[in-house]
Chain A
Amino acid sequence: MKRSNLAARKIEEGIFKGLMYFSVALVLGTLLLITGIIIAKGLPSLSIQMLTQTPKGGYYLGKEGGILNAIIGSIYLATGATLLALIISLPVSLYINVYTRSNSKLAALVRFSMDILWGIPSIVYGAFGFIIMISLGLRASLGAAIIAVSLFELPIMVRAMDEVLKMIPPELAEASYSLGATRTETAFRVIVRQAIPGLITGVLMAFGRGIGDTASVLFTAGFTDRIPTSLSQPAATLPLAIFFQLGTPFPEVQGRAYAAATVLTIMVLIISLTARLIAHRYSKCITR
């Protein structure tokens, strides 16, 4: 190590500390600024009409209407995809934590492949969803988009649920077995009941990611001004509405894109805040 006197070391310390303060402030400031700017920019264009009407004729030229189709479409899509993902994730995370030991090879393999799936870009899920859709002979529709988004949500949900189930003390399951319960009974009546707040957090997180994702539904959702009434109809989503409306040259329509961005930001923030609050409360009263 180079000999350095105390003053020089103190100066170095000061410089890097300054850089660190700057970095934290920069990241935090930018993220807060983004939220602030989006909301400030969108609020003036936001009206009751925006939230309660579907686009009327000439909407994309700046005439009457709202984005209700996209709001409802997004909620339908994210709800459907989250339910589908839940049907698969809950058994998977229960299987690796209850049916096998949570430090088994299979559990490690599942965690590994979920990490890998989690890293795959959503546009690739979009392309894959498109291939599935074509090979099933479907058209761009709510149903096809639900499949694509549920694949995208699956690793997010399994990881979140696994984190929760890993924390459940094994004694709880052992007590249940000793009373003669089967693994399935233990899984659903004891483990799930104990973990329910954490599981809800996982579901909400996946829901939040699903509702905000654009690239995975670009190919599969289609886009329509009507509110879908069945799975086989195309659906609009908020991210797509923002994306398409910003692409038009009319300032009126762009203003609505900002308003839609505000709606989406607020929705996502509320969802993930709720998820975090549930997780926080739950972590305080965990049985040990």
Chain B
Amino acid sequence: MAFRIIKDAAARHTFRLFTLAACAMALPLAVSLFLKSLPVLKMQSLGAILFSTEWHPMQGKFGMLAYIMGTATVTGLAMLIAVPVSLLAAIYLAEYAPARFRQMVLPLIDLLSGIPSVIYGVWGIVVIVPAARWLSQRFGAWSSGYCLLSGALVLAVMVCPFIIHVAREVLSTVPFGIREASLSLGATKWQTVKLTVLRKALPGIVAAVILGLSRALGETIAVLMVIGNVPAIPKSLFDPAYPLPALLANNYGEMMSVPLYDSALLMSGFILLVTVLIANLAAKGILRAMQRGQI
């Protein structure tokens, strides 16, 4: 009898320890990356790192603006493509689609979104890059095809299932009575969606988009494979770019040879982590306020 209780207590305490440790895991992640980026921060001001394009590790210059702009442009463009398509698809699946179609399509989208990102990269090289090359020639830009546009298209395809998933869930939480009230006043189905359902679900939709954005920010391999990786601020769709995660991923082998280089690279990881954390916290905050009925 006593042994069973001791066993129970031991298990309870161990499990609680595991739980607390798992909860706090984001902390060592952030702290260790921050500590590793301290050396480069001591040498250069944060402003110089964030807003200078001078990336010369050999001379100890670590301006990341080109990489930050690479990430910003490719993510922005991808969202521009992905958001309207995903929202329209999510609205269709939540409001219009017959139940059987929905039950077939949703798991299929989820299943296919589980395809590893390196596979999306391969697809990008096989399909998107030649297409972008062809398109650039039509516009007289003569790009290799490994460019901003290719990166954005691949990234857009990757975040679509994610935004659809979250947005559809948000839409399905809108109370049914609202739709009935609107329809009974003679509104068409689309008017009902536009004027009542979307208005009610707007904060949640914003959260879905932010979550999609934070996914896109951190996506590494697929984008790196098709975007060309030239560290300059891209001026057109057919220019190559060099996003922040790609910087980290591409240089891992040489990390240790140049002083401060590894510090600068891990700092790029830290910048990425902080950006994604802020985006996630914002989205979570919105969703929580919505659940409590504050918005």
Q: For the complex, is A106 an interface residue (Cβ under 8 Å from B)?
A: yes
Q: For the complex, is A242 an interface residue (Cβ under 8 Å from B)?
A: yes
Q: For the complex, is A195 an interface residue (Cβ under 8 Å from B)?
A: no
Q: For the complex, is B259 an interface residue (Cβ under 8 Å from A)?
A: no
Query: Among residues 234 to 288 in chain A, which have CB atoms less than 8 Å away from a CB atom of chain B?
Result: 239, 242-243, 246, 257-258, 261, 264-265, 268-269, 272-273, 276
Chain A residues contacting B172 (CB-CB under 8 Å) are none
Residue pairs across A and B with Cβ atoms less than 8 A apart, 17 shown, are A9-B190, A9-B191, A23-B88, A28-B105, A31-B112, A35-B115, A37-B126, A38-B123, A91-B18, A91-B19, A130-B252, A184-B7, A212-B119, A213-B116, A215-B221, A269-B111, A276-B107
Chain A residues contacting B114 (CB-CB under 8 Å) are 205, 208-209, 212, 268, 272
Which bucket holds chain A's interface residue count? 35 or more
CA–CA, A12 to B187, complex, Å? Answer: 12
Cβ contact within 8 Å between B88 and A112:
no
CA–CA, A132 to B215, complex, Å? Answer: 24
Cβ contact within 8 Å between A131 and B272:
no
Chain B residues contacting A31 (CB-CB under 8 Å) are 108-109, 112-113, 115, 157, 161
CA–CA, A239 to B18, complex, Å? Answer: 31
Q: Mark A48-69, 1 if CB is under 8 A from B, else 0.
A: 0000000000000000000000
- Smallest CB separation, B267 vs chain A (Å): 10
Q: Given A123-B245, A246-B122, list of 17 further CB < 8 A pairs?
A: A9-B190, A9-B191, A13-B191, A31-B112, A35-B115, A37-B126, A122-B218, A124-B29, A124-B218, A127-B266, A130-B252, A154-B25, A214-B116, A215-B220, A239-B221, A265-B119, A268-B114
Chain B residues contacting A205 (CB-CB under 8 Å) are 114
Cross-interface CB contact of A128 among B14, B15, B18, B29, cutoff 8 Å: B29
Q: For the complex, is B67 an interface residue (Cβ under 8 Å from A)?
A: no
CA–CA, A10 to B112, complex, Å? Answer: 35
Cβ contact within 8 Å between A120 and B107:
no
Known: A27-B161, A28-B105, A116-B280. A214 touches B15 (CB 8 A): no
Q: For the complex, is A226 an interface residue (Cβ under 8 Å from B)?
A: no
Chain B residues contacting A272 (CB-CB under 8 Å) are 111, 114
Cβ contact within 8 Å between A110 and B23:
yes
- Smallest CB separation, A242 vs chain B (Å): 5
Chain B: CB-nearest residue to A87: B18
Chain A: CB-nearest residue to B247: A123
Q: Mark A70-96, 1 if CB is under 8 A from B, else 0.
A: 000000000000000000110110111
Chain A residues contacting B218 (CB-CB under 8 Å) are 120-124
Cβ contact within 8 Å between A96 and B19:
yes
Q: For the complex, is A151 an interface residue (Cβ under 8 Å from B)?
A: yes
Chain B residues contacting A151 (CB-CB under 8 Å) are 25
CA–CA, A123 to B92, complex, Å? Answer: 34
Q: For the complex, is B208 an interface residue (Cβ under 8 Å from A)?
A: no
Cβ contact within 8 Å between B220 and A128:
no
CA–CA, A246 to B117, complex, Å? Answer: 14
Cβ contact within 8 Å between A242 and B15:
no
CA–CA, A264 to B188, complex, Å? Answer: 47
Q: For the complex, is B180 an interface residue (Cβ under 8 Å from A)?
A: no
Chain B residues contacting A88 (CB-CB under 8 Å) are 18, 21-22
Cβ contact within 8 Å between B116 and A239:
yes
Chain B: CB-nearest residue to A151: B25
Query: Among residues 150 to 186 in chain B, which have CB atoms less than 8 Å away from a CB atom of chain A?
Result: 157, 160-161, 164
CA–CA, A257 to B121, complex, Å? Answer: 12
Chain B residues contacting A35 (CB-CB under 8 Å) are 112, 115
Q: For the complex, is B199 an interface residue (Cβ under 8 Å from A)?
A: no
Chain B residues contacting A268 (CB-CB under 8 Å) are 114-116
CA–CA, A146 to B228, complex, Å? Answer: 30
Chain B residues contacting A116 (CB-CB under 8 Å) are 26, 277, 280-281, 284
Cβ contact within 8 Å between B117 and A114:
no
Q: Mark B183-224, 1 if CB is under 8 A from A, else 0.
A: 000001111001100000000000000010011011111000
Chain B residues contacting A30 (CB-CB under 8 Å) are 157, 160
Cβ contact within 8 Å between A261 and B122:
yes
CA–CA, A187 to B11, complex, Å? Answer: 10
Q: For the complex, is A136 an interface residue (Cβ under 8 Å from B)?
A: no
Query: Among residues 78 to 127 in chain B, which have CB atoms less than 8 Å away from a CB atom of chain A?
Result: 84-86, 88-89, 91-93, 96-97, 105, 107-109, 111-123, 125-127
Chain B: CB-nearest residue to A40: B126
Q: For the complex, is A138 an interface residue (Cβ under 8 Å from B)?
A: no
